Every structure is written in structure tokens, then in C-alpha cells.
Amino acid sequence: MSFLTLFIIIPALTVIGILLCKKHMQVKWTAVVGMGLQLILAIGLIFLFLAERRSGNMDEILFIQDNVWYQTLNIHFFIGVDGVSVAMIGLTALVVFAGIFASWDIADLPREFFTSLILLASGVFGFFISLDLFTMFLFYELAVIPMYLLIGIWGSGPRHYSAMKLTLMLMGGSALILLGILGLYFNSAPDGGPLTFDLIQISKIQIPVDAQLFFFPLLFVGFGVLGALFPFHTWSPDGHASAPTAVSMLHAGVLMKLGGYGCYRVAVFLLPEAAHQLGWIFLILATIGVIYGALGAVWQKDLKYINAYSSVSHCALVLFAILIFNETAMNGAIMQMISHGIMTALFFALIGMIYGRTHTRYINEMGGLMKVMPFLAVAYVIAGLASLGLPGFSGFVAEMTIFVGAFQKIGTFYRVATIIAASSIVVTAVYILRVVGILLLGKITNPEYETITDAKWYDKISVVALIFGITLIGLAPLWLSDMITGGLGPIMQKLLAVAPILN
Amino acid sequence: MTTNQLMFAIFSAVIIVFSILTVTSRRILRAATFLLFVLVATGGMYFLLRFNFLAAIQLTLYAGGIVVLIIFSILLTSHISEKMEAPGWKKIIPALIAVLAGAVITISTILQYPFPQQVMADSERTDIRMIARSLISTEKYGYALPFEVISILLLAAMVGAIILAKKRKD
Amino acid sequence: MFEGVPLTWFLITGTIMFFIGIYGFLVRKNLITILMSTELILNSVNINFVAFNKILYPDHLEGMFFTIFIIAVAAAEASVAIAIIINIYRRLVNIDVEKMNEMKY
Amino acid sequence: MIDFSYTALILLIPLVIFVLSGLFGNRFKPLVSGIIGTAGLFVIWVLSLVTAYQYFFLTEKAADGTFQELLAVNIRWLTFSDKLHIDMGVLLDPISIMMLLVVTTVSFMVHIYSIGYMHGEKGFMRFFSFLSLFSFSMLGLVVATNIFQMYIFWELVGVSSYLLIGFYYTRDSAVAASKKAFIVTRFADLGFLVGILILSYTTGTFDFITLTGDESPAFTSGQGIWFMGLSTMTWSMIFVFIGGAGKSAMFPLHIWLPDAMEGPTPVSALIHAATMVVAGVYLVARLFPIYTTTAPVALDVVMYVGAFSSVFAAIIACTQYDIKRVLAYSTMSQIGMMMFALGVSGDGGHEGLGFMASMFHLFTHAFFKSLLFLAAGAIIHAVHTNVMNEMGGLRKYLPITHATFLIACLSISGIPPLSGFFSKDEILAAGYEKSLLLYWVEMIVSGLTAFYMFRLYYSIFWGKATQYHHTPHEAPKTMTVTLIILAVITLLAGFIPFSHFVSSDRIPFAAHLDLSIALPAVLVGLTGFFVATLFYRKETTIPGQIFNFLGGFSRAAYHKFYIDEFYLFVTKKIIFNYISRPIAWFDRHIVDGAMNGLSYVTNEASFRIRRFQSGQLQQYALVFVSGAIFLTLFFLYLWTH
């Protein structure tokens, strides 16, 4: 029995606790306690993991637990972590924790809201710790489905449309993933042994190249939909715009990472030959996505749309980096996921808080907010600077790792793609500063805003926790980078076996 | 032409002719009457094949019970004098095509299939005692279980029919 | 021993009757006439059963028993069907099958 | 061997001050945060003086007489791959120490000055915490041990500049200017980044010592033709120079600098005159061995861009009325000269005169230009306007400011024996050896410089005495003290035997004053001075006539040659309207439309299909029967196997 199981048990207990609560306050505090524990657990996991590695335990996967739960199809509850998943778990715990505080103001049906939210979170945790493809898929669905309720019930604007669109597109992705996973399953025993969903075991065998070529696009696109792969990203602007604050945070911060993580852990890891042969197609799409998302954000007027497009750009950078297939870029991809996760969660939290005060998300209707809510405004500037890749914040570390890594890859095609992707940092600066300029600086345009109050204590907790995350990584990235690099060994081995890369 | 053949021809002709009339007549009570003829003629077929008991059931249950039931329900639901409107060609033509095609296929199949000649001698005339024994026997060729099942079905049908037809209080 | 009439003849009669029943089922509007068509179909099957029994396996009685059961089922069916028809009539004052399309879409 | 690891404090102190005042600033009284910041800067200043003393006088030189490159501190910060990693550290060599001195001195002065200048401003402590942030970033840039550390601090310098330009955030023009500054330099930084990527890929290292050492991989790899007839290394250096040009406001990336004058004047003095804007020069100087050895074409680019910018900016400076803008264009012009000097320089010994001259000019320019800005600040402080037409006759009211301003003007005009004379003379000497044409161009620039500086000087301090709302009075002590100190430095800095400390190959050499160069330079400077005296000493109509005589040209110069308008057109009209907006439209209507179309088709199909579910029992039966018949047919006849 590995203590990783706690990552699923704690949310489950929290959900039960919430359902037993009667008052609003009790519900909130139960959620805080549960997710606080989860955060502590995640931090503990990071320390334990690092200690374990330092003590020389170089196993590919640590803290393994393996139980069979459906013998007929050989489905296991197989969990364990490597450096990459530890990092992702840390991210999730932080964002969920901040998300709870960011939705402190929720008035309608708080019990149901927090239940769905934590259910979603437990799906994400489960996804990151599981190593059995089927279990993984199960958790993936568990994470995606509450989203429909969360947006459909607590959302704003054309929420039913957005919720439906988001759910349908993600379900479309899931269908592809399911196909892909079944494909892997049925090819998992070329010597005629028992079929398996075990990710590690599948990674050790050679899947026929024909099958790889068929299943790689399915898996990559399937996960790519969630990872906002161009042109399957359109659920993102609508979905984010309609979703309530905490849901946007979780969705952009964590759920979109499931896509990137899936592409990395399932599509590329298990199907390296196909990845090598077909990667360029998706690389082009990702490069387009990077610059396209950034340029798309320049013109938007709705804060959430701006951030949604910015997410498209940043997440496309993740996919871009994964498809470069070298260690540095791959490392950058994981760091970018974490960095973008925290950053965008911060953004959405702030947007939610600003919206809660001004009741509009159109930047042209606001102005001069720095004066009335300095805390939120400064936090927004920090988030913006982090987003445009300022050194000292996590975004810089991740982006630079990606660009340096990508540029090491031989071939003019990759070089050009890298330079195009890198040029997004300029565009990012443009739209971030545009928003900061219009929204926060200048004079107060609307006299009603003179009386707006600054952040409350719970807002501050949420914001400070996230800012702490980005600056911690931004100032001292080495431990994270090393931890992730340690987890990249197996995938790099597989990729190098396919095509030796000079690096 | 043997007696059997003659009788068969008569019954067969009656069945076919009155069947057609049953499904084409525009007066519903007449249709019911034609159905009665068909059922009686079917009973005749059973006699022809020496299933006397069966024929008796056919006459009492079908010709007696069901047709009466039908006629009652007609009287309850329709105006007898009224002619039903003829079905439109849109309905008739596809139905005819399907039906004719089906009939042709089936009949041609039947004609092509080499049925074996009579393989064994006829047993005694089936008597009631034998039927009764079979119905409650649990041995081979015993029908205790279907018998019980059909009894339950009949009970259920009875209950169902009563409940359905009962006038609601509301 | 039954002689003179080949099995095929019975089967053909049954087939024709069956398809006439089907035709009635497909084109008639009145629910009761549809019920009558159903009776035709059942009877045609009965004829087949009985003919098979008598001509091919005269020492057995399966065909006959099947027929008995079918008659029993038919009776049950008729009674329930008529109950339903009467019920429908009470509600809609009409038993035209084309007007009963509540279940569409 | 002296242990220099204490130099890490030079970076840490301002960082700590920034963090503390950023987090707890509102707990202090405003003045306290100012004093803490200033005290911190004082400590750093002393530290860098000590460092300079120890480095130049107490540390042994290498066997061949070069100053050593010392890695005082170097800590692994981020690992990319086995070879590539970013370290954070302190690199000590002559130019970094020279820059340390410049930055800490000017920054220290500006801190003192600001206590007076910003007194009573809202956001006083915010101002000081940003200043600390800037000092930290600039010092980090200066002592960077590797090109990536430099890039990191380069970005940080950019952002602190952004924050300080936009200090008066309720003023729209300031917000726009800060945004412009950041985005333009960011664009240039992209070039820098690409340059770094190419460089690191070809050489496999970020490290300055490795890159510029005698066995640098940059000298051997990446020499092949890569693109448009130039080698990889040349391209990488050109890209790096784009970054430098952006920060140093070289044409055509200069447009942010004049607007950056929206920031508080001390900021203009510190960032946009003395330190940050010369980062580009410093960057080229850092990689100078690569430029001279393997990328002479890139060096030519540096030369031409520098020369053009210097003359371009000088012409515009003659037509501006906002005193800070005049100074801004003057800065651009002087930096152009520094770039030019680097561009004409060769490597080693006397060949490397240009390098030395560039650094020397950087050094002296930092002091007299910050002096000019601070004096301008004192003037603005006194009369509450930036426009020189609204001033005049101020010499009576502001004697100290007047004196110091005059010293700075004489220095920048290259009048001996002020510091500007020496450094400018070296630049011209270096230029003379390389290209006669450019030498004369720089000569003209030198004359123009004297002209517009004295135009400024006369318009402010002479001419008719304007009626002011309230009598202007001299600035508080904290401000005048700094003016005097800087004036003293300006007076004396020229006598530093600069070539004994800074040279391209780090071997000291003796540079001599070449009279054949110095004399014409002084004459040209004096000419400019006299012309300005003639025009502006008393109010005359001559300038107006000349302005009209030159017609379109002068109007174009007044409008800064419409570069701003051009950029605005490109960004607003083309990028915003013709790229971004169509993309947004495309996304909504084509990409999203495709997705919605898919759902529409599905929906429509299901609406069509549901017609089959008509509720007509007999239709169902017909379909069923037909199906049964068809299957029978199929299995009996068609499916013969």
C-alpha cells in the first residue's frame, strides 16, 4: 500500500465530508482542510521523492502500488510516480488549494459546487499517479465530466452553449484516446502473452510500426484537444469565458495539462517510432498555435478571452517542446506546463476577483484600477510579467529551456519553427502590456469604481500562494529542472533508440 | 382427386378468399365475419389432418371466443354502418410489393426444398387422454413447464385486460 | 396416415395466408382490423405446424402442442389487445392507428 | 590572490532592499525607505570602489601583462544539458569593473538626488524600491559571467525601466511610453535571444570567458557560409547586436527613448542616459573578440548603425523644444558614437584604440549626461515645465544649476580640458584610422552636438527673462550636492589614463593626444558653440529663417523623420488591424465555425433521421417486414458461401 493512494482517498473523504455538512461555512472549511492536507501531502511527496533520489534510489518509478481490480481484462490499479508526475502533482495541489479560496464567494449551491470541484481534482490527481492506461483513462473522464456541471450550473454568459461545446469537444478527444488506448492494449503482447494496460510494461515492448502509425495520431490528437492543439482549441475561449473563477483556474491550470502530460506520457513515450515519423505535422500545428494564440489575444476585449488565447499560445508551446524530442526541450515542456499552470491560474483568479468587483470583463469599460485595488493590480502586473517571460518568474525558465533545447535540434525546419515560436514572446508582451495599460493604469474611467474595495483575506491567500509558486520556480529552478530531467530518462532512451539525436 | 385433396382445395380456397376479404373489406363487421369463415376453415384443415381435439379448440376458442370478443369490441368502438375509408395507394403499394416479394420468395423456397416423404407410419388417432398426459408430463415429450407458463400468461393477461379496460375513476 | 395432399400445398396455403395477414397489418387503419390480421398470421403458422406434424412426423405431437399454446397465447393477446383498444378509444374516441403517434421523435 | 567573493554583496544588497521595500514598504515612512535605499547604494558604491582598487592595483596581472578575468562567484542556476547551463555569478575584468563604477556612482548620485526631487511625491517608496530593482538588474548585467545571465538581467533591466517610465501611472502618456519602451526593446531582445541561441548552438557554451578566450570555440566553429553569404557566427553576432541596438536606442529601434522621458527625471538620468542605454555598447564590447576575429561584417554593421544613429539623432536634437527630449536625442547620438568607435576598432594594442575610446566615452558620458539630466531635473523642478520656449534668463535664479550645466555642456561639446574632450578625441582618432568619410561624419556630429547643447543652454539660462508664476529658486541641498559632485567628476575624469586600464586585449597601452585630430575637433566644437551663441544668446530670427530655408527637411527633422508615425502605422494599422483582427475573426468564424459546423451537421442529420421515427406503427412494420424479406433473400440467394 503506497501512500500515493492518499491522493485519491483524501479528496474522496473531503467530498463525503462536504456532503455531510449543513452550513456554507462548514462546506468551505471542509474543502479548505481537505485540499490543505492535499497540498501538504504534495509538498511532502516532493521532499520524499527528492530524498529518495538523493539516497540513490534510481528506479524509474517510485512508491509503486499494484492491485488487480478487473482480472478479465487485466486492469490494474497501478500507481507510482517519477519526477515528472511529482511535479505535476505539486502543481495540481497548489492550484486546487488556491482555487478553493478563489471561489470563497460562491453563493449558489456551495456544497454541490465544492463537491464537483474536488471530484474534478481527484480525477486529476488520479490521472497523474496512475500508470495503468485504463485507470488513467478512468480518472481522465472523472476529471472532464464534472466540468460540464461546473460550467453549466455556476457559469456565466452563454454557459450552456460553452459547457456543451467544451464537453463535446473533450469527449471527442476522449473517444480518440480510448481508441488509442485499446490499440495499445491489443498490441501490448506481441509474443502472445496476456494483454496488459500497464504503461511501463508496454513501454518495454516494441509495438509494430504500422500500429504505431495508426494509433499515434489518435492519441496525440485526443490528448491534444485538451492540450489546446490548434485547430482543436476553440472550446478554450468559450469555456473559460463562461466558467466560474475556480473552474477556469483548474481547467486552464491543471486540466489542460492532462493533455500535454498525456501526449508526453502516452503518445510519445509508448509510440516513439510513429512520433518520430509524424511528429513534424503536429510540430507545425503547435508552432502555428503558439503564434496564432498570441496574435489572437492581441485583439480580444474580454479579459478571459485574452487569457484563454494566451493559454492556447502557451500550451501550444508545451506540445511544441514535446515534439522536439530532445531532453532539454522535453524538460522545458514539463516546466512550461507547471509554470503556465500556476500562472494562468493566477490570472484567472485575478480576473475573477476583478470581475466580482467591477461586474464587467471588458477591458475598455475599466481603467485606472491600480488606484482603487493596488493589491490585485500589482498581482495582475506580476502575473502579466510572469506570463511574458520575465526572468525571476517561472515562465522565463520554462520558455528559455524550450527555446535553447529546440534550437539544439538539428535541421533548418526545427530552427525556423523555434524562431517563429520564440517570436511569440514579443507578441505576448504586446497583449499583456496592452491589458495592463488599459485596465490598471491611467485614470479611473468609471466613477462607480471609486468605491471598489481591494482583495479580501481569502483572495490574498489564493493570490499569494500562486505568486509564491511562480517566483519560487523562477528564482530557484534547478531542483525542479533536475527532478524533471531525472524522470525523462526512459522516454529519451526510447526516442534515441528510434533516431539518434546529436545533443 | 381424392377426398383429401378435394377437402383441402375447398378449405384452402375458403381460407385464401376470405383472408383477402378480411383485410380488404371496408365494413368492419363484415371483415370480422370473414375472419370467422377463415378460422372455421382453418379448423376444417385440422379436421382434415385428423387433429380433432385441436379443431375443437379452434372452433370454440377462436371462432367462438376471440371472434366474439372482436365483434364486441367493434360494437363498442365503431359505427357499424360506416364504411371505413380505403387506405391510400401510398400505403398499399409498398405493402403489396413487400408482401408479394415475401410470398414469392417463401413459396419458391418451399417449392425448391426437397421435403422428405412420409417417414413412418401414422400412430393411433390422437386421443384426449394422451394429450392430457403429455400436457402434465415431465418426461420426454411432456409439456408441464410450457403448460404452467401459459397458465401464468393467461392469468396475467386476464388481470391485465381487466385493469386496462376498467374505467378510471378520474 | 394422411395421404393425397403433399406438405407443400399446406405450406403454400399457410404462406399465402400469412402474407395476406401481413398485408392487412400494413395497410389497415383500424386497430381492430389490425388485430384481425394478426389472427390471420397466427393461424397460418398454426396450419404449418399441424401440417408438418402430421405429414412428416405423424408419431409425434409437438406440432399440435405448439398450436395449442399458440392458440392460448393468441387468446391472451386478443384479450389484452382489445382491452388496450377500448382504453385508447375511451381516451381518443377513435382507434385509427395513424393518429396514434405520440411516440414519435 | 585576493578573494573577491564579497562582490556577490554588490548584487545581493539591492535585491534585498528591493524585496524588503516591495513587501513591507508601506509599513515604513516614505523617507525611511529612501534613506535605506541610498544607504544600500552607498555600501555598494564603496564596495565597487574597493573592488576596483583591489583589481587594478593589488591583483597580479597575468604573465603577458593582461588583466585577468576573474570569476568571483559562480553558482549553477539552471541546467539545460551537459554543456549548456546558466550560472549566476560575478565576472571581474576591466570593463565590468569600469561599468560597476559607473553604475554605482551614478545610481548613488541619483538616489541622493531623488530624496530631494521626489520629496512629497505619492509612491516615494515605490520609486525607491524600483530604483533598487534597477540597480540590482543593471549590476547583474554588468558582472554577468555568461551571456545568458546577461540576457536575464537584460530583461530585468527592461522591466525596471518599464516600471520607472510608467511611474506616473495615471498619466496616459507615461503609460503609453512605458509600454512602447518595453515592447520595442522586447522586440530587440528577441534578436538577442536568437543570437544567443545560434551562438550557444555553434559553440556549445554560454560562458564569456570561454567565448572570448584565446581558444574560443567561436573562432573555430560556425565559420561556414550559412545564410545570405554570411557565416553562422556573423549572423549570431548581428542578432546579438540587434538586442544591443534595441537597448541602446540605435536607429531604427530608437523610438522608445525620447518617449521614455515621461519618467521622472532622475530615472532618465540613471537609466536613459548613463547606464541602461549603454548596455548595448557594453554587450558588443563584451563579445568584442568574437566580433573582430570572426564577424567583421557584423562589426561593420555596428559601425554604420552607430555612425548613422549619431548623425541622425544630432540633427533631430537641433529641432526639439522639450529639454529632456533634446537630451534624449543627444544621448542617442553619443551612444551612436560609442558604437561607431567599437565598429572601427581592431583588436589589440593601438589597433584597439576605438574599443578603448568607446569605453572611455561611455565612462565620461555617463557622468556628464547624468549631470545634464539632473540639472534639467533641477530646472524642471524650479519652473514646472519641460519646454525651453517657456524658460529663459534662469542663470540668475539657479546659479549652481547654471554652473554645473555649463560644465556639462562644455564637456559634451568636447572643449578641453573637460572629460568629454578626451574621450571624443580618441573616438575621432580611431575613426580617422578606419574611414575618412565616417571620420568627417563624426566631426559634423561633434559640431552639431556643441550647437544643440548650447542652443539648449542659451534658451534656458539666457535670453529674455520669462515671467514665472512664482520666482524659481534653487533646488534643495540633496540635489545641488549631487550636481556639484558630478560636475567635479566631469571636470576631472578626462585625466584618467584610461588606456592603462581598459583595452581590447586587456593589455595596458599608452594612448597619446594626437594634435592633428584634436585641433580640428576642438575647432568644430567651438564653431558649434559660436553659431549657437550667435543664434540664441539673444533672441534672433536667424534660427527661424534657417528652419524655413531648409523647409521640408527641417520639418521632417522636427517630426523625428516620421519614424514614429511609420511604426505606429505598422503596428496599429497592419499588425493590429490586418493580422491580429483577422486572426481573431478567423478563429471565431473558420476554426470555431468548423467545430460548430460539425455540431450543426450532426444536429441536422439527427433531425433528418428522426423523421424515420414517425410514430406510425405500420411504417415500422413495413420496414421490419422489408428488412426480414431482404435478409431472407440475402441469406438464401445472394450470400452463396
pLDDT tens-digit profile of A474-500?
888 888 888 888 888 888 888 887 776
For residue B46 the three cell numbers come to 385440422
Q: Is the pLDDT of residue B123 over 60?
A: no
CA distance B92 to chain D (A): 11
Binary contact (C104, D613; C-beta < 8 A) = yes
Q: Mean per-residue pLDDT for D258-263?
A: 83
Query: Which segments of D474-514 does DSSP mark as H helices, in order?
Result: 477-492
Q: Is residue B120 part of a domain?
A: no
Last residue of a domain, one of B68, B87, B102: B102
pLDDT, position D641 = 60
Q: State chain A's mean pLDDT as an integer.
A: 85
A418 in contact with chain D, both atoms CB, cutoff 8 A: yes
Q: Is the pLDDT of residue C29 over 50?
A: yes
Q: State chain D's mean pLDDT as an integer.
A: 82
pLDDT, position C12 = 92
Q: Do chains C and A meet with 3 or more Cβ pairs nearer than 8 Å?
A: no
Q: Is the pLDDT of residue A502 over 50?
A: no
Q: Mean per-residue pLDDT for D230-239?
A: 84
CA distance linking residue A107 with residue A249, whole number of Å? 18
Under the banding of pLDDT at 50, 70 and 90, the label for residue C46 is very high
The set of residues, in sequence order, having a beta carbon less than 8 Å from that of D308 and lying 6+ positions away, is D251, D336
Strand partners, A78: A66
Count the neighbouring beta carbons within 10 Å of the beta carbon of residue A67.
11
ipTM over 0.90: no
Count the neighbouring beta carbons within 10 Å of the beta carbon of residue D228.
7
Identify the residue whose cell numbers are 374516441.
C93
CA distance C63 to chain B (A): 10
CA distance linking residue D352 with residue D432, whole number of Å? 13
For residue A316 the three cell numbers come to 501550444
CA distance linking residue B32 with residue D558, whole number of Å? 109
- Candidate ranges A124-128, A147-151, D429-433; pick with highest mean pLDDT: A124-128
DSSP string, D224-284: SEEETTEEHHHHHHHHHHHHHHHHTT-TTS-THHHHGGGS-HHHHHIIIIISGGGHHHHHH
Q: Is residue B117 part of a domain?
A: no
Q: Mean per-residue pLDDT for A10-27?
A: 86
Q: How far apart are the first and last CA of chain C?
A: 56
Three-class DSSP labels, D206-218: CEHHHHHCCCCHH
Give the containing element (helix H, strand E) for D570: none
- Residues B51-63 have pLDDT tens digits of 888 899 889 988 8
Residue D572 or residue D366, greater confidence: D366
Residue C37 or residue D612, greater confidence: C37
Under the banding of pLDDT at 50, 70 and 90, the label for residue A503 is very low
pLDDT, position D465 = 65
- Residues A350-379 have pLDDT tens digits of 888 888 888 888 888 887 778 788 888 888
Count of domains for chain B: 2
Closest CA to A136 of A206, A216, A63, A80: A80
Distance of CA B166 to the CA centre of its chain: 28
- Stretch 40-69 of chain C: residues touching chain B, C-beta under 8 Å: 40, 43, 46-47, 50-51, 54-62, 64-65, 67-69
Identify the residue whose cell numbers are 541619483.
D110
For residue A277 the three cell numbers come to 515519423
DSSP 8-state code for residue B84: P
Residues of chain A with Cβ-Cβ distance to D186 below 8 Å are: 388, 425-426, 429
Under the banding of pLDDT at 50, 70 and 90, the label for residue C13 is very high
Sign of CA dihedral A474, A477, A481, A484: negative
Sign of CA dihedral D416, D419, D424, D429: positive
Q: Phi and psi for D62 in degrees, rounded to 5?
A: -70, 170
Q: How many CA atoms lie within 13 A of D36 on its CB side?
A: 25
Under the banding of pLDDT at 50, 70 and 90, the label for residue B118 is low
Percent of chain B residues past pLDDT 70, beyond the cut: 92
Binary contact (D599, A165; C-beta < 8 A) = yes
> Would you report the helix, strand and coil content of chain C in percent, each value rounded to 5?
75, 0, 20
Query: Which segments of A77-132 does DSSP mark as H helices, in order?
Result: 83-102, 110-129
Same domain, B52 and B8: yes
- Residues B9-47 have pLDDT tens digits of 999 999 999 999 998 888 888 899 999 999 999 999 888
Q: Mean per-residue pLDDT for A27-55?
A: 87
For residue A484 the three cell numbers come to 524533471
CA distance D635 to chain B (A): 12
- Residues D172-211 have pLDDT tens digits of 888 888 888 888 888 888 889 888 888 888 888 888 888 8
Which subunits count as partners of chain B given 3+ CB pairs below 8 Å? C, D
Q: Mean per-residue pLDDT for A46-70?
A: 83
**A447: cis peptide before it, omega within 30°?**
no
Which amino acid would we find at residue A456? Answer: K
Q: Is the pLDDT of residue D131 over 80?
A: yes
D613 in contact with chain C, both atoms CB, cutoff 8 A: yes
Identify the residue whose cell numbers are 527592461.
D158
- The domain spans of chain C are 7-99
Under the banding of pLDDT at 50, 70 and 90, the label for residue B100 is very high
- Nearest residue in C to B2, CA atom: C4
Q: Is the pLDDT of residue B124 over 60?
A: no
Binary contact (B73, C82; C-beta < 8 A) = yes
Same domain, B13 and B88: yes
Same domain, B73 and B136: no
Q: How many CA atoms lie within 13 A of D83 on its CB side?
A: 14
The set of residues, in sequence order, having a beta carbon less than 8 Å from that of D14 and lying 6+ positions away, is D40, D41, D44, D132, D133, D135, D136, D139
Residues of chain C with Cβ-Cβ distance to B95 below 8 Å are: 22-23, 26-27
Identify the residue whose cell numbers are 399440435.
C64
Q: Is the pLDDT of residue D473 over 90?
A: no
Q: How many residues does chain A have?
A: 503
Under the banding of pLDDT at 50, 70 and 90, the label for residue C23 is very high
Binary contact (D583, A485; C-beta < 8 A) = no
Among A102-111, A174-183, A261-270, A285-294, whose mean pLDDT is lowest?
A102-111
Q: Is residue B20 part of a domain?
A: yes
Under the banding of pLDDT at 50, 70 and 90, the label for residue A1 is low
For residue B17 the three cell numbers come to 378468399
CA distance D593 to chain C (A): 28
- Nearest residue in D to B98, CA atom: D626
Same domain, B153 and B96: no
For residue A222 the three cell numbers come to 485526443
The set of residues, in sequence order, having a beta carbon less than 8 Å from that of C31 and lying 6+ positions away, is C81, C85, C88, C95, C96, C97
The set of residues, in sequence order, having a beta carbon less than 8 Å from that of D108 and lying 6+ positions away, is D38, D41, D42, D44, D45
CA distance linking residue D623 with residue A124, whole number of Å? 48
- Nearest residue in B to C96, CA atom: B84
Closest CA to D212 of D113, D154, D276, D292: D292
CA distance linking residue C97 with residue A125, whole number of Å? 57
Residues of chain D with Cβ-Cβ distance to B96 below 8 Å are: none
Query: Which of these CATH numbers, 1.10.287.3510, 3.50.50.60, 3.30.70.270, 3.40.50.10240, describes C7-99?
Result: 1.10.287.3510
Dihedral through CA B59, CA B62, CA B66, CA B70, nearest 10? -90
A104 touches A31 (CB < 8 A): no
- Residues A71-84 have pLDDT tens digits of 888 888 888 888 88
Q: Is residue B45 part of a domain?
A: yes
D542 CB-contact burial (10 Å; exposed 0-12 / middle 13-18 / buried 19+): exposed
Which amino acid would we find at residue C82? Answer: I
Return left, alpha or beta for B50; rule: phi > 0 is left, psi -120 to 50 is alpha, else beta.
Answer: left
- Residues D532-549 have pLDDT tens digits of 777 777 767 776 777 777
Closest CA to A338 of A395, A259, A269, A286: A395
Domain that holds residue B160: 127-170
| Angle of CA points B63, B69, B72, to nearest 5° | 125
| B54 → closest Cβ in C2, C68, C74 | C68
Q: Which among B3, B12, B129, B148 is the top mutation candidate for probing chain C, defined by the most C β-carbons within 10 Å of its own β-carbon?
A: B12
Dihedral through CA D576, CA D580, CA D586, CA D589, nearest 10? -70
CA distance linking residue A439 with residue A377, whole number of Å? 9
Domain that holds residue A489: 3-502
CA distance linking residue D158 with residue D256, whole number of Å? 12
Helix axes A327-358, A83-102, angle to 10 degrees: 0
Sign of CA dihedral B25, B31, B33, B34: positive
Count of domains for chain A: 1
Count the neighbouring beta carbons within 10 Å of the beta carbon of residue A25.
10
